[in-house]
Structure 1
Amino acid sequence: MTKFLITGGCGFIGSAVVRRLLASAAHEVVTVDKMTYAASEDALGAALGHPRHRLIRADIADAAAMRAVFEAHRPDIVMHLAAESHVDRSIDGPRDFIDTNITGTFVLLEAARAWFATLDEPARRRFRFHHISTDEVFGALEPGDPPFTETTPYDPRSPYAASKAASDHLVRAWQHTYGLPTIVSNTTNNYGPWQFPEKLIPLVLINALEGRPLPVYGDGSNLRDWLFVEDHAEALVTIALTGTPGETYAIGARQPRSNLDVVRAICRLLDDRRPDPAGPRERLITFVADRPGHDFRYEIDPARSEAALGWRAAHDFEAGLARTVDWYLANETWWRAIRARRYAGQRLGTAA
C-alpha cells in the first residue's frame, strides 16, 4: 500500500486528488492543510471519515511540524499542492505568496530531504516529491505564439507567478544538488466542483444567479486553456506513480476559450436551467478597466505528457462546464455559507 502525503489537500485541486486516491484500495493518504480561507473540509467528502485517510492541520512553513509529519506518517510519495493561488490577491498583498509558495516549499523540501536520508535503498527508489505548479510561470502568449511546453523559458509577470516560478526552481535545485527525486508538473486553468467562489467560473455563476454585474476585464479577449479538475487529478496521480524523477510534465486540455466566451457560456447554461424573469443574463456583463499586468493568453501543448503518461483530458469544455454549473446549483448551501462566514462578498466584484 502506497502512502501519500498531500499538502493543500483541502483545497480545490488537492481535494480532488485526495478523493481520487482513496477511490483505490491501494493507497493511504495523509492530508496536510493550514485551513486558510479557501480550504474546505467538506470538499474531502467521504475522505473525512475514511480509515485510510488522516487530516492534519498544519502550516507547510512550520519546519518542526513538517518534520513531525514525515517521522510520524512515513510517506512514500509527497504531492505538494499547498499554495496561495489568486492573482488579484497577489497584486493586493504579495507577502502571503512569498511566505507560502516560496518559504513553505523550501521548508517542505528540507523536511523531505531529511526523511529521504533515513530511507533504505528500496524505499529511496520508491520515494517521489511531486510539485504541482502553473503555466503562469511561463509568462504570456501573444496571438500566433505556439502554446507552452515543458521547455518554455520562465517569464513570470505577477507576484503569484513569480512565487510559483521560484518554488519550481527550488524543487529542481533540490534534485540536482541533493539527489532528492523530484517531479514538476505545470497546468492550465482548472475548473469544476468545490472551487472557491473568488475564481472566474464560480464568481460569474454566483453573480449571475443573484442578478449582480458580471465585470469583465478589458474587452474580455484574454485567452485561457481550461482543464476540468477531475481530469487534472487523474493526471497528477499518474505522474506521482509513474513519472520519472527530474522530469517536467505540462498538463493541458486543448480547450482554449476567451474570458468573454466563458462568461457568455455560463449565462446561457443558467438561462436554460434557471431562467431569470428580468431577461437573459448576458445583460449583466460589464466591461471594466484591465488589471495591472494582465497576461493575454495561457495555453499548454500537452502532447509530450500525453504520450509519456498515457493520459488525455476526458472532458471537453462544454460538458465540463455544464457539470460544474449543475454542481453549484445543487450545492448552494456550501457556497452561500462561505460567503456568509468567511468571504462576505467582499471580492464578488472581482473581474474576469
Structure 2
Amino acid sequence: MKKKTFLITGGAGFIGSAVVRELIQNSAHQVVNVDKLTYAGNLESLANVETSERYTFAQADICDANAMQQLFEQHQPDVVMHLAAESHVDRSIDGPAEFIQTNVVGTAVLLEATRSYWKELQQKDTAKAEAFRFHHISTDEVYGDLAECEESGVRSEEENSPLTSAQRAHASLFTETTPYAPSSPYSASKASSDHLVRAWQRTYGMPTLVTNCSNNYGPYHFPEKLIPLMILNALAGKPLPVYGNGQQIRDWLYVEDHARALIKVATEGQVGETYNIGGHNEKANLTVVETLCDLLQELVPQETSYRDLITFVTDRPGHDVRYAIDASKIERELGWVPEETFETGLRKTVQWYLANETWWKRVQDGSYQGQRLGSL
C-alpha cells in the first residue's frame, strides 16, 4: 500500500491511541496526532511509539479553526480519522454543553477545515484529492435502545405473529440503516456529528466514511468506564457499583480489533458508506462484572470473593437497556472480523492493568478518583 499521512484527531484518547499504535507499529504510514489533551487524553498511552520518525504530536483543539487550517497546510494529510470527542454518558448528563461544543461544533469546524484543504487539493493535485478520505468515528448509541424495539411488537412478515425470542434477538440488531433515536446528551451530540458528516458528503461531495462501533474495552482505558473502574475498585477492595439490576446488555469490542477495523475502513472503505463495527459479544453488565471478579480471583487470589464487593446502585437516568451490532457488512465487504473473543480480550485487559500500575495510578492521582458521575 502506498505510504500515506494520517491526521488523527483525539489520538491521545483510548481508541485514538490504539489506532496510532497500530499504524506506527504495523504499517509504514505517517501519523499526525492532534489532541487537546483534556482529562482523558494521555500521551503516556503512546510512550512506545512517540520516538518514531513517522509520528508527530500537535496539541490543538478541533474547535480552533485557525489551528486546524495550519495543521492541514503543514502536514498535507491523505486521510483524516476523526476520533476527538467527549464520550462518557455520565459526564454528558452532568454537563451537556461541553459535549455539544466538542462533538457538534468541533466536528463542523473540522469539516470546514477539511473541505477547504480538499478543494485546494482538487486544484493542485487531482490524484491526491481523489484518494483523500475523511473518516468519522461514531458510536452505536446513536441508534437508541434495542429493548424498546423488542417491546414494540415486531411481527413476522410470513406469519403476522409475534417473533420468538430467538427471532427477535436476531432481528433487532443495529444495522447501518437503523433509524437514529439517541437517548443521552452524549449520543445526541454524536448523532448530530454523524449527520453533519453525511451532509458535507451529500452537499459538497467530500469523500467521507462513517463507522459506528459497540462498547470498546482494553488497555489504556480511562477508569471512569465500566471495565477499568471495576478492575481498579476490586483491586482496592472498594464497592463495585452496578447500575439498576445490572441487566443492561452491551456488545463488547476489544479496542485493538476496533483499531484494525478503522484503518481498514479508512483505506479500503467505499466513499459515502457507513460500516458498523461490533465484537459479537453481547453481555449483561452484571455478567461482565462477575466475570471480571472471577478473573481477578484467579490472577490475584484473596480469601473473600471479589463478587462480595458488587453493590447495586440507582440506575443512570435514561439508561438504554440493550445495544447490539450487526457487523456483517464490514465482514462481507472488507473482510474484517474481530480476532479476540470476549474471554481472551478480557483476560488480556485484566493482565494489562495488573502489569501497568504506574499508568493507572497517575490517572487516578489526576482528574478522576472513581467518583460517580451523572446521578442527577
Please report how far the alpha carbon of residue 345 of structure 1 lies from its aligned counterpart in structure 2 after TM superposition.
3.7
The alignment partner of 1:269 has SS state of helix
Q: 2:54 aligns with which of 52, 55, 58?
A: 52
Contact persistence 1:215–1:350 (CA under 8 A): no
Cα distance in 2 for residues equivalent to 1:346 and 1:217:
14
> For 1:118, what is the secondary structure of its paired residue?
helix
For residues 60 and 188 of structure 1, the distance between their equivalents in structure 2, rounded to whole angstroms, comes to 24
Aligned to 1:80: 82
Is the contact between residue 133 and residue 266 of structure 2 (CA under 8 Å) also seen in structure 1? yes
What's 2:302 paired with?
Answer: 276
Q: Distance in 2 between matches of 1:133 and 1:116?
A: 22
2:351 matches 1:326: yes
Residue 344 of structure 1, CA deviation: 3.4
Aligned residue identity for 2:113: A
Q: 2:36 aligns with which of 34, 37, 46?
A: 34
Instruction: Give the aligned residue type for 1:19.
Output: R
Distance of 1:203 and 1:346 partners within structure 2: 10
Contact 2:91 2:374 in 1 (8 A): no
Q: C-alpha separation between the residues in 1 aligned to 2:194 and 2:312?
A: 35
For 1:247 and 1:25, the matched residues in 2 are separated by 24
For residue 139 of structure 2, what is the aligned residue in structure 1? 134
Moved more, 63-72 or 135-144: 135-144
CA distance in 2, matches of 1:27, 1:77: 10
Which residue pairs with 1:19 in the alignment?
A: 21
Structure 1 residue corresponding to 2:220, chosen from 191, 194, 209: 194
Could you tell me the percent identity over the aligned residues? 58
Q: How far did residue 117 of structure 1 move?
A: 0.5
**Residues 333, 350 of structure 1: CA spacing in aligned structure 2 closer, same or farther, 3 A cutoff?**
farther
What is the one-letter code of the residue matched to 1:328? Answer: Y
Q: 2:134·2:208 contact (CA, 8 Å) conserved in 1?
A: yes
Q: Secondary structure at the match of 1:6?
A: strand
Shift of 1:189: 0.1
Aligned to 1:207: 233
- Helix, strand or coil: the match of 2:146? coil
Residue in 2 that maps onto 1:121 = 126
C-alpha change, 1:25 and 1:217, in structure 2 (3 Å) is closer
Greater Cα shift, 140-149 or 58-67 = 140-149
Match of 1:344 among 365, 369, 374: 369
Question: 1:322 is matched by which residue type in structure 2?
Answer: R
Please say if residues 12 and 45 of structure 2, whose CA atoms lie closer than 8 Å, have aligned partners that are also in contact: yes
Q: Distance in 1 between matches of 2:314 and 2:173?
A: 27
Q: How does 1:238-249 map to 2 (within 5 A)?
A: 238-249=264-275
Alignment of 1:164-179 (within 5 A): 164-179=190-205
Q: What is the aligned partner in structure 1 of residue 338 from structure 2?
A: 313
1:198 and 1:350 in contact (8 A); partners too: no
Greater C-alpha radius of gyration: 2
User: Higher mean Cα deviation, 39-48 or 295-304?
Assistant: 39-48
User: SS at 2:101's partner residue?
Assistant: helix
Residues 6 and 32, structure 2, Cα contact 8 Å, conserved in 1: yes
Deviations 1:214-270 (A, max 9, x none): 111111000000000000000000000001110000001110000000000000011
Alpha-carbon distance, 1:25 to partner: 4.4
SS class of match (2:232): helix
Cα displacement (A) at 1:342: 2.4
Q: Which letter does structure 2 place at the counterpart of 1:253?
A: G
SS at match of 2:5: strand
Structure 2 match to 1:225: 251
Q: Could you say what secondary structure the match of 1:250 adopts?
A: strand
Helix, strand or coil at the partner of 1:54: strand
In structure 1, list runs of 5 or more residues that go unmatched.
Answer: none
In the alignment, does 2:327 pair up with 1:302? Answer: yes
**2:145/2:320 contact within 8 Å kept:** yes
Gaps of 5+ in 2: 151-167
Give the drift of 1:338.
1.0
Distance (Å, rounded) in 1 between the aligned partners of 2:99 and 2:374: 19
Change (3 A) 1:215 1:345: closer
Tell me how far 1:45 sits from its aligned partner. Answer: 2.7
Query: For the residues of structure 2 that align with 1:346 and 1:291, how far apart are their CA atoms?
Result: 14
Distance 1:73 1:210 in 2: 45
3-state secondary structure, aligned to 1:137: helix
Deviation at 1:275, TM superposition (A): 1.5
Q: Is the 8 A contact 1:81 1:131 kept in 2?
A: yes
Per the alignment, residue 254 of structure 1 pairs with 280
Shift of 1:350: 8.0
- 2:50 is paired with a residue whose SS is helix
One-letter code aligned to 2:290: R
CA–CA separation in structure 2 for the residues paired with 1:246 and 1:95:
29
Task: Give the letter aligned to residue 86 of structure 1.
Answer: H
What TM-score results when the alignment is normalised by the length of structure 2?
0.91
Q: For residue 124 of structure 1, report the CA deviation from its aligned partner.
A: 1.1
- Deviation for aligned residue 1:340: 1.1
Letter in 2 for 1:158: S
RMSD across aligned positions (CA)? 1.2
